[in-house]
Amino acid sequence: MSPSLERLTALAGAPVSVAILRAKDQLGASVYRAGRLELAGTPDDVGRAAAAARAEPIARVLDGDGSPVVTFLGRDRFALWNGRVRAEFRTSFRVDLDDRPIPAPQSRGGAPVTFERAMRELAAELEAGFRSALLLRPDPDPDAGAGARAGNRPYESGPLSDGSVRFAVGHAAATLRPDGENGVRLTCIGSELWFGRQFTQTFEPLRGARYDLVSDEVERLGADVRAFLDNRRERFALIT
């Protein structure tokens, strides 16, 4: 097993910090989150999956609700960088992981949070957690998307006609819209099939559907969307 995978497996069960970077040529600002690292099997399973370049998960960083912040696959490229595990998902996407805090640069903390920046950060952490299961409409940063490497441009390159951005995994979807100059509003849709017919229900967070465009609130928004896409509905209220 490589030194990077040995380090990854040694951190199993430990609290970790991650820096998620989803940007063209990996040039941009990272999203900083924390969680607990869990292996998808034994250390030997991790080594075998990586050697076989499999698409199955080998480890996950989970948040306090048990939803995935980052999912590592056997095919990802792992390395050690300054003592941290670095996993490269593609040329526009990587994650650094460490059991020591990975602080955001001070200059980053003072930058204003816009709706566009919040959506790019959300796209990074949600794709890191759900990987190819995540659907984006549109991609808030199309140059960093999976299709950009092959030269495939998305059909939609900007916000939808109502200014919203939508994320979905399976039958769960989250729609985010600008709310005034400094807010975001979240609406979630869950659907089920009954006797060949599709039924949908609308949900909103119990703490309120509006989030301020500040770093702490954007992190809370990401956690709420992640929980809903992971079919954890405890913090949501059914409205229709």
The pLDDT of residue 50 is 78
Looking at 98, 129, 154, the residue that finishes a domain is: 98
Query: Does residue 73 sit in the same domain as residue 123?
Result: no
The number of folded domains in the chain is 2
Domain co-membership, 212 together with 127: yes
pLDDT for residue 70: 98
pLDDT of residue 130: 98
Q: Which of 49, 65, 98 is the last residue of a domain?
A: 98
pLDDT tens for the chain, 240 residues: list them: 789 999 999 999 999 999 999 999 999 999 999 999 999 988 888 888 777 778 899 999 999 999 999 999 999 999 998 889 999 999 999 999 999 998 887 655 567 899 999 999 999 999 999 999 999 999 999 999 887 655 555 545 555 667 899 999 999 999 999 999 899 999 999 987 777 777 889 999 999 999 999 999 999 999 999 999 999 999 999 998
Is residue 107 assigned to a domain? Answer: no
Q: Specify if 213 maps to a domain.
A: yes
Q: Are residues 12 and 74 in the same domain?
A: yes
Q: What is the rounded CA–CA span in Å between residue 173 and residue 162? A: 16
CB 81, CB 96: distance < 8 Å: yes
Supply the CATH number for residue 190's domain.
3.30.1460
pLDDT computed for residue 43 by the predictor: 85
Residues 124, 67 share a domain: no
pLDDT of residue 165: 95
In a domain, 18, yes or no: yes
Last residue of a domain, one of 69, 98, 127: 98
Same domain, 122 and 196: yes
Task: Give yes or no: residues 94 and 116 share one domain.
Answer: no
| Residue 105, domain member (yes or no) | no
Residue 57 lies in a domain: yes
pTM of the entire predicted model: 0.91
- Is the domain of 10 the same as that of 69? yes
The Cβ-side half-sphere exposure at 2, using a 13 Å CA radius, reads 17
One domain for residues 26 and 126: no
Residues 65 and 171 in one domain: no
Judgement on whether residues 145 and 222 belong to the same structural domain of the protein: yes
Residues 131 and 39 in one domain: no
pLDDT score recorded for residue 185: 97
Whether residue 116 is found in the same domain as residue 234 = yes
The pLDDT assigned to 42 comes to 86
22 found inside a domain: yes
What is the extent of the structural domain holding 172?
Answer: 112-238
